[in-house]
Amino acid sequence: MSAALRLSSAALAIGAALLLGACGERQNPAQTRQEQRQQAGTEAWAAGSSSGFKAAGWTPGDQASWERHMRARSQNQNEYVRIQGKGG
């Protein structure tokens, strides 16, 4: 009986360790890249110049173009603007 009690308490301890291990927070790779860019001193509007993911009409390195695209993107996510555009 003592061996069964030890075995069940060991299984309980291992289970608790696994459950608590799942509660840990991992570092987000995108956040890491953003922090690296900020440490390098690269401005956000200049950072995407070497990326293959570029919005049409945006000129890499052009701050005014980047700001226009960011303003348009945020307006597309604005629920008040979206509802008014549907005639409601």
What pLDDT is recorded for position 40? Answer: 61
What pLDDT is recorded for position 81? Answer: 77
More confident residue, 11 or 57: 11
With 0.85 as the threshold, say if the pTM is over it: no
Confidence check: pLDDT of 88 > 60: no
CA dist., res. 71 & res. 69, Å (int): 5
**pLDDT tens profile 25-82:** 776 666 666 676 665 666 777 766 565 667 777 777 788 888 888 888 888 888 887 7
CA dist., res. 9 & res. 15, Å (int): 10
